[in-house]
Structure 1
Amino acid sequence: MDVMLVAVASVVIIIAVTALAPRAGVAAPLILVLIGTGISLLPTTPAIEIDPELILAGVLPALLYAAAASFPAMEFRRELTAIGGMSVLLVVVSAVVLGAVFAAVVPGIGLAAGIALGAIVSPTDAVATSIIKKLGAPRRVVVMLDGEGLLNDATSLVLLRSAIAATAATVSVWSVVGDFLQAVAIAVVCGVIVGRLGLWVRARVRNAALSTAASFVVPFAAYAPAEALGASGIVAAVAAGLVTGTLAARHLRPQDRLSEESNWRTVEVLLEGGLFLVMGLQIFGLVEDVRAEHGSLALALGVATIGAVGIVLVRAAFVLPLLALLERRRRRAEQVREVVHGMQARLEAGRASSEEPGRGLTAAAVAEAYAASLPAGMDPRRRRRAVQRMTRRVEAEQRRRAAPRTERREAGMATRMAQFQRRMLRKLADVDYLMAAPLGPREGMVLVWAGMRGVVTLAAAQTLPADFPQRSLLVLVAFGVAAGTLLVQGGTLPWVVRRLGLAGSASPRHAEGMEGLRAVHDAASRAMLDDPGLRRPDGGTYAPVVVARVRDLVLRDQEDQVEEEQTPEELATQFFELRLATIGAQRAALLEARSVGRYDSVLLNRALELLDAEQIAVEMRAE
């Protein structure tokens, strides 16, 4: 009964704080940490210690899966350089630098134990970064922070395992690198397989509630085998989430996706709030352990302060050159843009004049575009050889085109040219994305200040063996770093973002994206409704009056809804069939636009949600 009362009280607190915090202008996680800390310090509250495995295996896979499932895949691809650097290199650098500092200031621990503590406090928390999402900060900054929080846990946990092993035996750098690569590779394979299998199963369950229930199993089904194989279960859960988020619109019904989104949001709110509340509730037990061992909290507070300041300084030193690298990439994109635009114009001109696709693309033009896409600092001789190889490939392709053709060869060439044009569209979209969202000093300051630590740090600290040197002290230091960065940086982050003029920053592609998506929507509808080969599912033809009515409804954006009794009974079925088929064509066009990356991901997701709602409404009326 006591456990039930605690659980109910915790849920009530989480709901109340989450609902009221926005009115107070304070992030809910900060209030929950303070409430938990206050409760833990009450004389009647016993020392509370949560099994770290409950957090690492029972909560984080679900939260990170949900975050990954809503993460835009095209932006993940575009920011892979930054995300990879911040989630791998930055964690390694932070762990080593801070490890050396900890080893120097904490008595009784060596470098290996210091690096273990450095690995614990190095990763940012994907849950903690939820604070910045509510501020309307630049989308690109949010994507980088989200991607970093999703992936840096694996780097931290592998380093932690290696550092713990190094306290008892010698561990080589190459063995750590090998362990990390193996852990990530196995985890990604497990996650992709489980993610695809989950979609396959859910596509065959024609019940939204059961489909959502099946989605709750996916993160743990990915986590368990990865951990059993010695890999990172966290990365496996993230990989499964990315696969689900990317392919769900192609495989699942709108009802399934809407039900899943709604239920997972509820789960996220409760689990996130519970984690922050748990952080505060554990403070009393940690304080008592350190007092019993050291008699004072001064050392723990001092080391935690050094760690909190150190991670900000190391992060700033890493982000500055990263921003310079990204700016170089943006400038190079400017050089490539005109060349790619010219090639795209030639393709369009060749298609408009019914010429052979790609006739206007000479070997010199392709070589010019390829040369412009190479790194600016590349050795001239290597650049020349690379361009020559590309030129020879293009010339060989042109010779194949000039050879006598069969129907199969022409079809293959048409497919290759379509793929080439799609790659160019994606390249143009990537260039436009980089041009529209530059990262300057203001964005860099937000990236540095938003690198808060959270529950993952505390959970990782509690996995230290019982006989680890100065274990209680190190766990309290980890808590101090996590709570300190969360309260100080998280509490001042809204002020920093507003002071820098970045609050409420709308995507610069928003206005043009609204119009562009409408054009994609209409083009897909026209292509389908004007197709002379349009057929019903049973092979029959649609009545002209039905096609005209659907065309009016879709392309003229009329508000009146066609009721079944307004259409003759024999035409009602055709109307709803054609309306749903048109929605399917519109969705396919939007998904293609998403895969190319031509429009803002937020707009694309909103357009897909509206299509889902429209399909549900049509299906309900059809029934």
Structure 2
Amino acid sequence: MNLLIIVAGLLAIAGASQISDRLRVAPALLLLTMGIAVGFLPAVPAIVIEPEVILEGLLPALLYATAVAIPAINFRREFTPVAILAVLLVAVSSAVIGGVLTLVLPSLSVAWAVAMGAVLSPTDAVAISIARRLGVTQRVITVLEGEGLLNDATALVVLSSAISAAVAGRTSAGEVLGSFVLAVVVAVAVGWIVGELTLHLRARVTDASVDTVISFAVPFLAAIPAEHMGGSGLVAAVVAGLVTGHRSPRLLPPDHRIAGNETWHTVELVLEGFIFLVMGLQLFGVVEDVRAEGPPIATAVWLAVLAGVLSVAVRAAIVAPMLLWLRRRGARRAERWDGMSEPRQEFEERCQAIARGEIPKDMLVPWDSSRRGVRRRLKGLAKRLAKGRRGTGHAHARAHAAQAIDRIRRVDADMAYYQQAPLGAREGTIIVWAGMRGAVTLAAAQTLPADAPNRPFLLLIAILVAAGSLVVQGLTLPWVVRAVRPTMEGPADEAERRELMGLLISAAKGVIPENDDDHILTDDARRRIVLAAQGASALVAHAAREEAFEGGEDAGWAARRAEQARARALALDMVRAQRQALLDAGELGLYSAGLIEYALTRLDYEEITLVYREAVHEDPPARVVPAPSGGHTVPSAAP
């Protein structure tokens, strides 16, 4: 029977995902509705899922999968609004909702009311898929993703502190703050260590399937120790995912990454669908408990509506001043940075001279004493350069100079990023309306102890708030986007594409001289390789290199195969040089994350193809047959 239920659930998840685009409804909403309909069938018994199954078994893996996919550079740039929404908003929402519940339900103590407020505060990631499908700008998507990744820890810390206060006595605000800081610090440390260690372990694995199996354990390797050490297991899983997503292109082979990404996408689809399907199935059992114990279900409904309205109102009250402050702060920083253009240019020129080995006597920039902020940053870099010159010599100073140039370029890219897609009132409206409740709310509500007053009643409120926000906000979010007209994500800028293409061409050109000392390549073949690199297609470059070798039966198969092997080696070196250049540019934020990801994916597939061709060419040589139109000979399958 359980096996049939699992199979039916998998088919339901697949079906909802397949028809969601046709119906223009998020798969989560379809699964929630399906679960409610099935749960109220007379033949289906009440279903109860232990909260640990979701909190400890599903959410770490689900958050890890989301964290791996989020661009690290975007997360760094949007960390301030993410921290405000994930920490301040959750704390304020818990206090406000708890205070209102205390007023309308005098029988509910302040501690239990705040605990209920913490249950209703964290948002769900389902809004991200809806917003992304609508074409909302990447800045809004990143803010929503980051908030969904981190606000669970804040809500669970506030919830546990409120429950402790209700059961054991009073808990001070200082204790709650201390618990939160401890949970985050421990989680960040454990998640970072686990992410780095597992990446270096996976880099030594030769089988892509084995690597994927190891990746399944990573979120739990981070979450379980963090929980035992007093930290947040969910935040630890998120940090491990961020480290993995940022570092894996440099450490893991492309076939491992592609296989892992596809598998994790499937896992994410199944886990998210299972959570919302179970949410709907559980509603019947909760309703029966409330009917037996009271208060009336109608009271739970209007309290859920009140809590939902409060959550949106508090969110708007936090998001509006946050965006105003972020815009003013960004304008002040941009003004200061632009005001430093002349000394910054002089400083960068000096750094470039140092990086070339031309060490000037005076490494400092003539500073204007009226300027602050950015001036101090560059002055600190200048001091480190001077220290490198006085200390370990030119090599140390040149390394510091290169770092200084990279930092200047990174700040320039950040300023351009904020100016190109500002977060205004229109984008703020989408951020407010996309704050839906979901899986974490349900799981957190089930962690309420059995002796909590009116526990089924509180659980019903949580389910109604989550379901109501998903239905109301989820179905109306497309209409809101059309009404407010926020900045939408358009195609990649053509100038940015050309600039990125120039980077790839330079990286490809830099490989050719190192591998062509004996000048086997003709000028025409070299030109064709560079043109192939212009399309970021090392596979075409490989074909051009092979066509440059005109051989026949007299040339000898050994020499020809050696030349072809060198052609494949050159093509692989080109791919790897281009990937290194792309990763360096991505860390500096010189190009959009979407364009970088697209180019890296192309290079990954090309390297896999080249490696496969190399493995195929290790087989016995094929015989040569004349080409139908004359000219070059082509290999044929050996008999």
TM-score normalised by L of structure 2:
0.88
Q: Does 1:600 align with 2:592?
A: yes
Distance 2:24 2:340 in 1: 46
Deviation at 1:332, TM superposition (A): 1.8
Distance 1:427 1:360 in 2: 24
Distance 1:519 1:337, change over 3 A: farther
Q: Does 1:517 align with 2:500?
A: yes
Distance 1:80 1:136, change over 3 A: same
Structure 2: runs of 5 or more not aligned: 550-559, 616-639
Deviation at 1:555, TM superposition (A): 3.6
String of CA shifts for 1:102-146, please: whole Å, max 9, x gaps.
111124211100000000000101244332222111110110000
| 1:529 equivalent among 488, 512, 519 | 512
Aligned partner of 1:322 in structure 2 is 322
One-letter code aligned to 1:461:
A
Deviation at 1:582, TM superposition (A): 1.5
| 1:490 equivalent among 474, 496, 507 | 474
Distance 1:327 1:365, change over 3 A: same
Distance 1:472 1:204, change over 3 A: same
Q: Conserved in 2, the CA contact under 8 Å of 1:550 and 1:575?
A: no
Question: Using CA pairs below 8 Å that are at least 6 residues apart, which structure has the higher relative contact order?
Answer: 1
Q: Does 1:129 align with 2:128?
A: yes
Deviation at 1:400, TM superposition (A): 6.2
Distance 1:358 1:6, change over 3 A: farther
Aligned partner of 1:383 in structure 2 is none
Structure 1: runs of 5 or more not aligned: 375-386
Aligned partner of 2:232 in structure 1 is 232
Q: Does 1:204 align with 2:184?
A: no
Deviation at 1:503, TM superposition (A): 7.8
Q: Does 1:418 align with 2:392?
A: no
One-letter code aligned to 1:214:
I
Question: Superposed, which structure 2 residues align to 1:252-291 within 5 Å?
Answer: 252-291=252-291
Q: Does 1:478 align with 2:462?
A: yes
Distance 1:327 1:360, change over 3 A: farther
One-letter code aligned to 1:577:
A
Distance 2:84 2:220 in 1: 27
Distance 1:46 1:571, change over 3 A: same
Residue aligned with 1:571, SS: helix
Distance 2:595 2:244 in 1: 19
Deviation at 1:502, TM superposition (A): 3.6
Q: Does 1:545 align with 2:521?
A: yes
Q: Conserved in 2, the CA contact under 8 Å of 1:64 and 1:126?
A: no
Distance 1:293 1:399, change over 3 A: closer
C-alpha RMSD of matched pairs (Å): 2.6
One-letter code aligned to 1:250:
R
- Greater shift, 289-298 or 427-436, is seen at 289-298
Q: Conserved in 2, the CA contact under 8 Å of 1:346 and 1:360?
A: no
Q: Does 1:176 align with 2:176?
A: yes
Distance 1:129 1:358, change over 3 A: farther
Percent of paired sites with the same residue: 42
Q: Conserved in 2, the CA contact under 8 Å of 1:68 and 1:239?
A: yes
Distance 1:340 1:99 in 2: 49
One-letter code aligned to 2:161:
S
| 2:411 equivalent among 407, 424, 427 | 427
TM-score normalised by L of structure 1:
0.90
One-letter code aligned to 2:14:
I
Residue aligned with 2:372, SS: helix
Aligned partner of 1:32 in structure 2 is 31
Residue aligned with 2:134, SS: coil
String of CA shifts for 1:552-611, please: whole Å, max 9, x gaps.
324444858358687422211211112111211111110101110111101111110011
Q: Matched residue pairs, number?
A: 596
Aligned partner of 1:117 in structure 2 is 116
Q: Does 1:619 align with 2:617?
A: no
Distance 2:28 2:89 in 1: 25
Deviation at 1:359, TM superposition (A): 7.5
Deviation at 1:346, TM superposition (A): 3.2
Aligned partner of 1:580 in structure 2 is 572
| 2:365 equivalent among 363, 366, 370 | 363
Distance 1:582 1:390, change over 3 A: closer
Aligned partner of 1:381 in structure 2 is none
Distance 1:586 1:542, change over 3 A: farther
Deviation at 1:396, TM superposition (A): 6.2
